[in-house]
Structures are given as structure tokens and as C-alpha cells.
Chain A
Amino acid sequence: MVLLLPLSHLMILAFPVRHDDSYRNAPFECCYNKSQRPLAGDVAQISKMKTFLKAIGNLFKKPVTTQYPFEQTYKPDDYRGLIGFNEDLCIWCRRCEVVCPPGAIVFSQDMEGKQTYHFNRAVCIYCGECVHTCPKEGAIFQTAEPAPCALKAENINNGWNKLYDEAIASREAYAAEKKRKTAEAAAQKAAEAAAAKAALAQQTEAEKTAAPKIQGE
């Protein structure tokens, strides 16, 4: 019967039995007078028994702990759980990435300018700052679902560090490409404008040279 009781109940049996003479050597003089000293008298014995009887009574009570794997523990409705993302609503402002304290969100970008959202549940501290900052409601949101454990196959630390660096590099590459294209376009435009200007100048020159002829005639 005793073996069937939960461990927490058996622990209660470990009632304190310590050296009785410790109080004699303790420095009472600074604060306690003799009348306040603990006495091994009737009153003290009764109060000692009271706690003891209560502790014994605990043997016949149900355990107060939640039997976790068989019973769900308390979880509030607005528990700070996994961060969800809705790609259709996102306006790709990247503000969530900027405010995230541990850097658990990162956006990568391909050469066409299409951005992809990456989230690491092992880095996230579930503070909800991304949700508060998001200018578009519902694009990024917090669910009440706790994060599942990471598996070795996921390579969640080193894999994420690599992914993070790659994502930043992909954005830089896109920005550089964009800059190059813009510069190219601008150069082309400038060349065209210069050519047009030259043509115009030539034309006016021709007109100028032609005009005196008309005047002369």
C-alpha cells in the first residue's frame, strides 16, 4: 500500500529531527530575552504535534500536483505561443525583423525581388513585439500553441545561423543588383538624353546656319 503512494507523500514522512542543543549555543542575547526562548513545555509540544498530525493527514489526501502526461496542466487562452504568419496580408515592410529582440525572424529575397519569411521557434522568446509593431493587422500573429521540441535533424542552431547569413546576403545581392540596374538604366537614359541634346543642338545649328541664308536672300 505504501509503495503505491506518490513520492511526494513519502517525502512528508521525512520529519525534521535535528540536534536539540543548537538553540543553547545560538546568540540569543542580541534580540531575545529568556521568556521568548523556545521551551520544551506543554504549549510547544502541542504545536509540534499539530504540524505532525497535519503532515500525517496528508497521507490520506489526494495529490495536489497535476498528473501531467495523463492530465492537461493549466494553460490560459492567451498563452504566449508560436508566432504565425499570413503571407497574403504581409506588406513586406520588415518591421517585425527590426524589432525582434533575439533575431528570430528574417526575410530572404530572390533576384526578382520576391521575399520569403523565415522564423526560428528555438530562438524566439515569444514576447509578441513583432505582433505589436506590425502595421497590417493579421499579417503576423501569436497563437496559444506551445513550441514543439527541436529535433537533431532540423539542425536548428547552426542551420539557422547559416540561413540567417544567407538571407541577409541574398537581400544585399538583390539591392546591389537593383542598384546596378538602376545605374545602368540611368546611364542609358543619360546617354539617350545626351544624344537627343546633341541632335537638338545640331539641328538648331543647322537652322542657325540655314537662317542667314534665308535672311540673305
Chain B
Amino acid sequence: MARQYEIPVGAQHISLLEPLHFKFTTENEKIISTEANVYYVHRGIEQACCSKFKFRQVSFVVGRVCGLCSISHTTAYSQVAEKLLNIEIPKRAKYLRMLVIELDRIHSHLLCLSHVAENSGFEALFMKTMQYREFSMELLEAICGNRIQYDFSIVGGVSRDLKPDVADWVLKRLKTFVPELDELLDIYQNNWTLSLKNKGAGAINKETAKRLNVVGPFARAAGLAIDVRNETEDLLPWKEVGFEMVTETAGDVYARNILRLRELYISINIIQNVINGLPEGALVTETKAFPDGEAVVRLEAPRGELFYYAKGNKTQVLERLKIKAPTFSNVAGMVEAFTGNEYGSAAAIIASYDPCLSCTAR
């Protein structure tokens, strides 16, 4: 038996975007077991939402939980608050929410892909992916008025309307993005040097993924067809705007890259359908009611299923708000998928999980 070494990665590490700690036990450079510690950025947001802020202000607070999936958090909270208030929002507001969620998915997936390329040692591809990502940030700025922290969903609807010239620009820009995406898919699929670091690394099979309750692109890359957009129709009409399930079978870093890129084609399709079929109507349903009772909402964030629970007691301040972020569900699967890999490919594997620790620790 070879000697075992314990190698820590994090909480501050060159390949990590956020504080995250992995303790690898390695034998001949091979990882045989892993421990994860994810709660470094706890900010007490749930407690603040239930004490300091009124229920209408909370949608802006939860938008600050995460910079990348800000719109997913605000939308999920708005939906849960609307359930507590027992109101139905206008159809135009639902469509605009879907538009921003999908644009957000484009920029989040491309960021993750570029990060995988960088951690695999492919700086040129990192630059290229970030270059192609920039358009989605500009479109989001044009729609929401800010590059990050969109504050787009509010309780009862959305805060801003989509202007016709911006809508035209979005469609035009998406058309030029499709060939760029084809180019990226070609590189991620066929580049030999990248495949050396990505193919077979961090693999997880379908049964393990199901047993460990893995969600999002991580699960879909392993062949597990889990997507909230496929399951719920009452809050946002995903199938009406052309949602299709994308799955891969391999479950390794390579499969996750390809899955994310293939999902972007679906996102582009959804955005085009939303803009072309945007219904007329009001943006906000006004109400003077106070939240009462309990409600649960699930929403597909770029990283997987986002879960919100809220409890109201007929006052301005909520009694309880619970946020369960997709990365939290994935931690068990993340730890499992390292086993049997080279320590050298750990950085690329971590990036391919797309971990969002601010969401997890809240």
C-alpha cells in the first residue's frame, strides 16, 4: 500500500472563485476520499429577511444572495410571496421573468465554461468564452438597467417593461451569437488538449447521481432528466415557450461542458419565442393584502433546482424564509465524483460543478 497524503484545497485557492474547502486524501496522486466544507460566507440573510425587512423589500435582499443567479432568487421569492398573498400575476410579467432568467442562464453557463477552460490550463479558450459572454451582460443591462443585481422581479410582477428597440436588439444580437456558440461547441467538443483534461474526469453515474439527490446540469450530464422547467407549469409556462430537456450520458467534465453549451441553444430558442409572443397587458398585480400561511416554490436556476419556503402571519414581516440553493443539494455528489481521479484534474472538476457558495451559505 502506498503512503497516503492529505492535500487541502481552499478556503482561499487560485482555482476557486469563492471560499470553499476540500480536503483530499490521495494515494499516488489519486484521490481516494474527499471532505468538503462549504459554509464560509454565511451572512444571516434568512434571519434578516424575517426581522429587519418588510415582505416587499425582501425580494431585493434575496437578490443579493448570489451575483450570478440574482434573478432566480428574486423570482423564486416573488413567486412564493405571491402564493402567500394569493394573487395571480399578469402573463406579460411571467414572460418577462422567463426572458431575464434565460439571459441570465446564458451568462452563467458561459462563465462556468470559461472557468473550466481556465482551470484545465486553456487560457486562450477562457478568453474566447468570456469574449462571447459579454453580449449577454450588455443585453441584461439594457433590459434591467444594471449588469448585475437586476432587481427585476418584484412581488406582484416585474419592475420594468421591455422596450421595443431593446427587444429588437436582443433578437439581432442572439442571431450573431449562434455562430459564436457553434464555434465554442466545436472547440469544447473536438479540442484534443482540452479532452485530455476533461474526458473521464469527475465522472458520476446515473444511479449514484439519483441516490445522492444531485440536481441541475450536474445531474443532467449524468443522464438524470431532472429539470423544474419540465415539471411545473403553474408559475411560469416553460413548455409554451419551447423548453426541451437536454441530457448527456457520460457524467464527466466533458459531458457537463457539452450539456451547458447545448442548453444555451434551448435558452436562445426560449428568448426568441418569448419576445416574438410577448403578450400585452399590465406588469404588476396590485394588492394590499398581507402574506398569510405557508408556501413552497421551486425554480430552475442555472445551477439546478432552487427551493424557497415562506411562512407569513398577516403582518408586514415574514415569520420564516428558507432558501435551499442548488449547490447545497450537489455537495454530496461533488464529494463522491472526485473519487478515483488524479489530483491534477481536481481544479477542472471543481469548476465544472459550477459551485455557488454564497447561495449555499446564504
Contacts and interface: CB of A to CB of B under 8 A. Distances in A.
Interface of A: 8, 11-12, 14-20, 22-23, 25-28, 30-32, 37-38, 40, 44-45, 47-48, 51, 55, 58, 64, 74-76, 78-80, 99, 101, 125-129, 132
B124 A47 contact: no
Nearest to A23: B196
A16 B120 contact: yes
Nearest to A31: B250
Contacts of B154: 129
Contact of A31 (B151, B194, B203): B203
Contact of A51 (B142, B145, B151, B191): B191
Interface in B162-212: 163, 166, 187, 190-197, 199-201, 203, 205
Nearest to B255: A31
Contact of A22 (B123, B151, B342): B342
B123 A16 contact: yes
Nearest to B121: A16
Interface-centre pick from B56, B151, B205 (highest chain A CB count, 10 A): B151
A51 B146 contact: no
Interface in B51-87: 53, 56-57, 60-61
Given A22-B342, A99-B57, A126-B146, A27 B200 contact: yes
A141 to B, nearest CB: 14
A45 B60 contact: no
Contact of A26 (B120, B131, B342): B342
Contacts of A128: 145, 151, 159-160
B143 to A, nearest CB: 9
B199 A32 contact: yes
Contacts of A16: 120-123, 193-194, 197
Nearest to A11: B123
A129 B250 CA distance: 47
Contacts of B10: none
A30 B342 contact: no
Given A11-B124, A45-B192, 15 more contacts: A16-B123, A16-B197, A18-B344, A22-B344, A22-B345, A26-B201, A27-B340, A30-B250, A31-B205, A38-B195, A48-B192, A64-B134, A80-B145, A101-B60, A125-B60
Contacts of B166: 76
A76 B141 contact: yes
Contacts of A19: 344
B192 A8 contact: no
B200 A26 contact: yes
A45 B134 CA distance: 31
Given A25-B30, A48-B193, A30 B131 contact: no
B60 A127 contact: yes
A76 B203 contact: no
Interface string B104-133: 000000000000000011111101000100
Contacts of B344: 18-19, 22
B199 A30 contact: no
The 10 closest A-B pairs by CB, nearest first: A26-B200, A80-B145, A31-B250, A101-B57, A16-B121, A44-B192, A127-B151, A55-B124, A47-B190, A38-B195
Contact of B196 (A18, A28, A32): A18
B60 A31 contact: no
A74 B142 CA distance: 9
B125 A38 contact: no
Nearest to A41: B192
Contacts of A25: 30, 342
Interface-centre pick from B124, B166, B255 (highest chain A CB count, 10 A): B124
A30 B342 CA distance: 16
8 contacts: A22-B342, A23-B200, A26-B345, A27-B200, A38-B195, A74-B141, A127-B60, A129-B57
A64 B26 CA distance: 42
Nearest to A37: B199
Contact of B199 (A17, A23, A48, A78): A23
Contacts of B122: 15-16
A62 to B, nearest CB: 12
A127 B138 CA distance: 18
Contacts of B123: 11-12, 14-16
A30 B251 contact: yes
B272 interface: no
A18 B200 contact: no
Contacts of B267: none
A51 B187 contact: yes
A38 B145 contact: no
B273 interface: no
B25 interface: no
Contact of A74 (B57, B138, B195): B138
B193 A14 contact: no
Contacts of B195: 23, 38
Nearest to A49: B192
